[in-house]
Amino acid sequence: MSETGTESGAASVGHSGHGANPEWSRAVRSAAMRPMMEKPGALWKAGAGVLALVVLAGIGAWIYQLKHGLGSAGYNDQAFWAVYIVDVITFIGVSYGGAVISAILRLTGQSWRAPLTRLAEGMALVTVLIGGAFIFPHLGRPERFLNIVAYPNMSSPLVWDFLAIATYTVATMIFFYLPLIPDLAIVQRTLGSAEGGIRRAAYRFLSFGWLGNDRQRRLLHGALTIVALLIVPLAVSVHSVLSWAFAVTSRPGWAETVFPPYFVVAALYSGTALVIVTAAAFRRGYRLQRFITKRHFVRLGYLMAALGLVYAYLTFADLISEGYTGITSGWIRETVVGRYAPAFWIYVVFGEILPIVLVAVRRTRNVAGMTVASVGVVISLWIKRIVIVLPPVTQPLVAGQWGSYHFTWVSITITLAGVAAIPLSLMLLFRYIPVMSIDEMEEAGPIGSFEQVSTETEKAIAEGTVGAETKVPVGAMAAASVPAPAGRRPLTWLRRPRGATTAVVVAAVALGLVALIGGGAKAAGAATPAQPASAQPATAQPAASQVAPSTPVTLAVTQPAAGKSALDLTATVGSPSAPVPSGTTVTFYVMVNQFNGSGQMQIGQATTTASGVAQFTYEPTWTGEEQFVAQVAGPAGSVAGSASASYKVTIDPPGLPKSVYEYQRPLTTTGHWVVTTLLTIVAIVWILLLGSLFLVVLRMPKLGRQ
C-alpha cells in the first residue's frame, strides 16, 4: 500500500496488510467518522440536552447535599453505607467489563471484536471516571479527600481502593488512547486543511507521527499487548479491593470469603451487559448496523450468559453456608424472604432467569433479545448490589431494631445523573474521535454481511446521503447472514427492541424502588422498655466473731526489703488487757482519690496470731503518699476498731506494664512485608503502564521519519 507518501490522502495511513478492500475501507471510514464530520442533528441535540439537564440536576442535588449533610440523601447511623457506594461499585464494575472484554478479545486475536473495541473501551473509560466521581458524594467531607494521600493508613482497605482505582483509571486511559493513535492520524488527514486549524493540530500532535509502517505497528502492538495484559489483573484487583472494603469488617453478610470473586464476576457480568447495551444504542443511533451485527450480539450474549451462571452460582454459595448454620443469618432471612426479598427476586428474575432464557431460546437469540437481556442485567445488578449492601448494614449488631434506608430525591437525582453521564460523555466523545476503530477494522477486513450488501446502499451510506436506518432495517443484516428458518418468525415484541427495553427498564426500576422503599417503610418501632433488673450489691462482709466494740488497733507500714516496693502492713489488734481471739480477721484498705472518689479500697485480709498481730504484704500500684487503713469488724457489720497509717511509696511499683492486656495483632510484622510487596507491585505496574505510553509517544515519530 501507499504507506510511504503522506500526501496521498486518507488512505495513506491505512493498514497495509488486509486493507486491500477499498470499498470496505471507505465504508468503515465513512460510518466511523460521520458523527464527527456532520453537524449534530436535532435528535442528537435534544438527547444531549436532556442528558445534560439530568447531569446538571445531579450536580445541583450534590451541592444541596453538601450544604445539608448526608442525612438529606437518606443516610442514618444504621444505614451508613447505601446508594452511593453501590453506584461506585456498579459504575466501576461495568467499566471493568468493557475493558476486560476488549483486552481479552484483543489478546486472543478475535478479529470480530474490531467494531466493538472503541465502544467498549470508551464505555470503560467513561464509566470508571463516573464511578470514581461517586466517591465524592459518598464522603461526608469530600474536601478532605486528599488526606488519603497526606496521611495514608496502609492497613485500610480504602487506601488500597484509592490506589487500585487510580491505577486502573490510568490504565484504562492508556488502553483507550493507544489504539486510537492510528485513527487520530486518519482523522487528521481526512479533515484536510478545510477544517479548523486547532482541531487538526491537536489530531496531528496526538497521533505522534503515525504512518502505519511496520515498525510503528510492531511498537504499538507491543505496547498494547503489555497494557492489555496488565488491565486484566488490574481490574481483578480493583474489584477485589472494593469487595474487601466490605469483607474485612466483621459484619455478617459482608465478612464473606467469597466476596472478591463475587464482585469480580458481578463486574464482568454487568460490564458485558453494558457493552451490549452500548453497542445496541450506538449501532442504532449512529447507523452501524452493517458493522455491528447479530453475530456480535449473540457472541457477547453467550459470554454474558456464562458469566451470569457463574454469578448465580456464587450468589447461591454466598447464601447457603451461613443460611445453613443460621449462626448469623438474619441478613439472609431479610434478603430472601424479608424486606429486601422483592429486590432480591427481581434480580433473580431479570438478572438471571430472563437473560439466560433469552440467550437459550433460539428465537430470541438476536439483537433485540440480547439487548433486552442486557438491560435487565445492568439494572438488576444495581439492585442486587443494593441487596448486598443494605441488609448487612442495617442489621442490629448488638440488639434491637433493624435500621432502614430511605431513598430521597437527592440520592436518586445524583444516581440518575451518573447514569445520564454515560451516554452523554460517549456522545460528546464520538464527536471528536471515530466511533469504531478504523484501523482495526481495516486490519480485520470485511466482516459479517458486508459482502452481501448491495453496492448502491453502501455507496449511499458512505456518502452520507441516505440514512442507513431507512435502507437497512435492524433485522436485515441478521437475516442476510443467518437466514431464519422458514415458517418461524421471531417474536414480534422482541423485534422492537426499544419497546421491549423500555418495558423491562420500567418494570425493573419500578419494582426495585417499590421494594426498597416499601421495605424501608416497614422499619422502626419503639424499643421495648427495659425490664428493670433487681439491684444486688455485691459486698463481702468479713466474717467477724467475738470482737468487742472499740478494740484498739494500731497499724505500722514498713518496707521489708530495700529496693523492693512491696510493703508490710502490720496491724496489732487488742491489748494485753483486752485481747482478741487468735484468728480474728483484719481487713486492710488503701485510700483512693481517683475518679473523684475518697473511698477505701480493700486490698486484702489477714488473721491475727495469738499475740494479736496480723500481717499483710501489699504491692503498691502507684507511688506517692499512700494512706492505709486496718479494720477489725465488730458484731453485725459494725467496725470494732480501725487504725490508719501513711507511707510514701517512692519506688516505681513493678505492678502492671502499660497494659498486661495489651493486644498485638499477629500479622503486624508480616503486614509490613505484605504492604511493601504490594506497593512494589503497584510501582511496577505504574512503570510498565507509563513506560508503554512514553515508549510509544517518544519512538513513534522517529520510526515514522526513518
Partner 1 sequence: MSWLIDPHLNEPDGSEGSTPLSVLDAHPGGSCSSGSSCSSGTCLVPDAGDDAEDPSVSRRSFLRLLGIGAGAAAAVGAGVELLTYREYAAGAAAANGTTKGGAVSGGAAASMADPSAPPTHQWAMVIDLRSCNGCKSCTAACQKAHSLTQEQTWIDVFTMTSSTGKEFPFPRPCMQCENPPCLHVCPVHATYRQDQGVVLVNETRCIGCRMCMAACPYQARYFNWNSGTKYPDTGMPQDAQFPVPQRLGTVGKCTFCVGNLNNGLMSECAAGCPMGAIYNADIITDVAVNSMGNTVKLSKFLNDNDAVTFKPEQNTHPRVWYILGHGQDLDADVSQDTSSAAS
| Interface positions, 53-72, toward partner 1 (CB under 8 A) | 67-72
- Please give the Cα distance from 615 to 177 (Å, whole number): 86
Q: How far is the CB of 654 from partner 1 (least distance, A)?
A: 5
135 or 504: whose CB is closer to partner 1? Answer: 135
* Consecutive H or E run containing 16: none
Beta pairing class for 613-618 and 599-607: unpaired
Asked if residue 81 binds partner 1 (CB under 8 A), the reply is: yes
Pick the stretch among 229-237, 353-361, 468-476, 669-677 that binds partner 1 (CB under 8 A): 669-677
Interacting residue with partner 1 among 42, 43, 399, 486 (CB under 8 A): 399
Asked if residue 404 binds partner 1 (CB under 8 A), the reply is: no
Site for partner 1 in 548-577 (CB under 8 A): none
Site for partner 1 in 312-351 (CB under 8 A): 326-330, 333
- Contact call for residues 655 and 567 (beta carbons, < 8 A): no
Backbone CA torsion sign across 333, 337, 341, 346: positive
Q: Helices 367-394 and 497-521 meet at what angle, rounded to 10?
A: 10
Backbone CA torsion sign across 207, 208, 213, 217: negative
**Residue 592 cell numbers, joined:** 483512693
7 or 625: whose CB is closer to partner 1? Answer: 625
256 or 439: whose CB is closer to partner 1? Answer: 256
327 or 690: whose CB is closer to partner 1? Answer: 327
Beta pairing class for 553-558 and 599-607: unpaired
Interacting residue with partner 1 among 52, 57, 148, 341 (CB under 8 A): 148
Interacting residue with partner 1 among 76, 110, 321, 605 (CB under 8 A): 76
One-letter identity of residue 639: V
- Contact call for residues 650 and 656 (beta carbons, < 8 A): no
Q: How far is the CB of 125 from partner 1 (least distance, A)?
A: 25
Q: How many residues bind partner 1 (CB under 8 A)?
A: 105
Longest dimension (CA), the chain: 135
Pick the stretch among 34-42, 73-81, 180-188, 608-616 that binds partner 1 (CB under 8 A): 73-81
- Contact call for residues 117 and 109 (beta carbons, < 8 A): no
Asked if residue 669 binds partner 1 (CB under 8 A), the reply is: yes
Q: How far is the CB of 403 from partner 1 (least distance, A)?
A: 10
Site for partner 1 in 156-175 (CB under 8 A): 156-159, 162
Asked if residue 526 binds partner 1 (CB under 8 A), the reply is: no
Q: Which residues contact 160 (CB under 8 A, 6 or more apart)?
A: 154, 241, 244, 678
Q: Which residues contact 554 (CB under 8 A, 6 or more apart)?
A: 571, 572, 643
455 or 598: whose CB is closer to partner 1? Answer: 598
4 or 250: whose CB is closer to partner 1? Answer: 250
Cα angle 255-261-263, degrees, rounded to a multiple of 5? 75
Pick the stretch among 49-57, 90-98, 199-207, 672-680 that binds partner 1 (CB under 8 A): 672-680
6 or 72: whose CB is closer to partner 1? Answer: 72
CA 169 to chain centre: 14
Q: How far is the CB of 483 from partner 1 (least distance, A)?
A: 56
Site for partner 1 in 573-612 (CB under 8 A): 592-603
396 or 473: whose CB is closer to partner 1? Answer: 396
Pick the stretch among 270-278, 281-289, 412-420, 645-653 that binds partner 1 (CB under 8 A): 645-653
Helix (H, G, I), strand (E, B) or coil at 616: strand
Interacting residue with partner 1 among 194, 663, 705, 706 (CB under 8 A): 663
Asked if residue 541 binds partner 1 (CB under 8 A), the reply is: no
Q: Which residues contact 649 (CB under 8 A, 6 or more apart)?
A: 565, 567, 620, 622, 623, 624, 625, 626
Asked if residue 7 binds partner 1 (CB under 8 A), the reply is: no
Asked if residue 525 binds partner 1 (CB under 8 A), the reply is: no
Site for partner 1 in 378-397 (CB under 8 A): 393, 396-397
Q: How far is the CB of 526 from partner 1 (least distance, A)?
A: 11
Asked if residue 139 binds partner 1 (CB under 8 A), the reply is: yes
Site for partner 1 in 281-310 (CB under 8 A): none
Q: How far is the CB of 588 from partner 1 (least distance, A)?
A: 11
Q: How far is the CB of 538 from partner 1 (least distance, A)?
A: 7
293 or 395: whose CB is closer to partner 1? Answer: 395
Q: Which residues contact 678 (CB under 8 A, 6 or more apart)?
A: 160
Cα angle 333-334-336, degrees, rounded to a multiple of 5? 65
648 or 705: whose CB is closer to partner 1? Answer: 648
Of the chain, the end-to-end C-alpha distance in Å amounts to 17
Interacting residue with partner 1 among 197, 525, 537, 576 (CB under 8 A): 537
Site for partner 1 in 620-639 (CB under 8 A): 621-626
469 or 652: whose CB is closer to partner 1? Answer: 652
Q: How far is the CB of 316 from partner 1 (least distance, A)?
A: 20
Pick the stretch among 177-185, 222-230, 344-352, 660-668 that binds partner 1 (CB under 8 A): 660-668
3-state helix, strand, coil in the chain (%, to 5): 60, 10, 30
What does the H/E/C string look like for 459-525? Answer: HHHHHCCCCHHHHCCHHHHHHHHCCCCCCCCCCHHHHCHHHHHHHHHHHHHHHHHHHHHHHHHCCCC
133 or 480: whose CB is closer to partner 1? Answer: 133
CA-derived radius of gyration, the chain = 37
Asked if residue 488 binds partner 1 (CB under 8 A), the reply is: no
Asked if residue 617 binds partner 1 (CB under 8 A), the reply is: no
Exposed / middle / buried, residue 158 (Cβ in 10 Å: 0-12, 13-18, 19+): middle
CA 413 to chain centre: 20
**Residue 534 cell numbers, joined:** 433487681
**Phi-psi label, residue 116: left if phi above 0, alpha if psi -120 to 50, beta otherwise:** alpha
Beta pairing class for 613-618 and 567-573: antiparallel
484 or 639: whose CB is closer to partner 1? Answer: 639
- Please give the Cα distance from 414 to 425 (Å, whole number): 16
Asked if residue 233 binds partner 1 (CB under 8 A), the reply is: no
- Contact call for residues 634 and 544 (beta carbons, < 8 A): yes
Helix (H, G, I), strand (E, B) or coil at 704: helix
631 or 692: whose CB is closer to partner 1? Answer: 631
148 or 688: whose CB is closer to partner 1? Answer: 148
Q: Find, among 114, 212, 229, the residue nearest to 174 by Cα.
A: 229
201 or 679: whose CB is closer to partner 1? Answer: 679
Interacting residue with partner 1 among 16, 110, 155, 481 (CB under 8 A): 155
Q: How far is the CB of 522 from partner 1 (least distance, A)?
A: 15
- Contact call for residues 653 and 621 (beta carbons, < 8 A): yes
- Please give the Cα distance from 518 to 498 (Å, whole number): 29
Q: How far is the CB of 101 from partner 1 (least distance, A)?
A: 31
Site for partner 1 in 677-696 (CB under 8 A): 679
**Residue 695 cell numbers, joined:** 515508549
Q: How far is the CB of 668 from partner 1 (least distance, A)?
A: 6
Site for partner 1 in 245-284 (CB under 8 A): 245-246, 248-252, 254
Asked if residue 483 binds partner 1 (CB under 8 A), the reply is: no
